Homo-oligomer: A and B are copies of this chain.
């Protein structure tokens, strides 16, 4: 069945959450947002392109830093309101220099850093 980005279920702001996962290691790298046009550009260019809610602009991940996300495969969930992006990540995904944005764990009631910048 032909995939139509407009058939996804976007929120009231026209956005859908997109989870980026390292295609080889399986590490969950980050979560950000896309609109229909960002989904389209990601599929067309193979470079993961989000919609920045703070800047209200398209955001080609890594365009400034060089830490691009190359799309390996896009997947959609059962109710079409979330995307899973299998990616090949150049450099660290997090703006803090860490491989993943999820570098803080809750352990015994404390927030603990479990990953250092590369």
- Chain A interface residues (CB < 8 Å from chain B): 1-3, 17, 19, 21, 25-28, 30-31, 43, 73-79, 82, 84, 94-96, 98, 101-107, 109-111, 114
Docked pose: A28 CA to B83 CA in angstroms: 11
Q: Are B3 and A111 in contact (CB under 8 A)?
A: yes
Residues from chain B with Cβ under 8 Å of A106 in the complex:
3, 43, 73-76
Q: Which of B19, B26, B84, B102 contacts A26 (CB 8 A)?
A: B26
A28-B21 contact in complex given A2-B109, A104-B76, C-beta closer than 8 Å = yes
Top 7 A-B residue pairs of the complex, sorted by shortest distance between their CB atoms: A26-B26, A77-B101, A75-B102, A84-B102, A31-B82, A3-B111, A74-B106
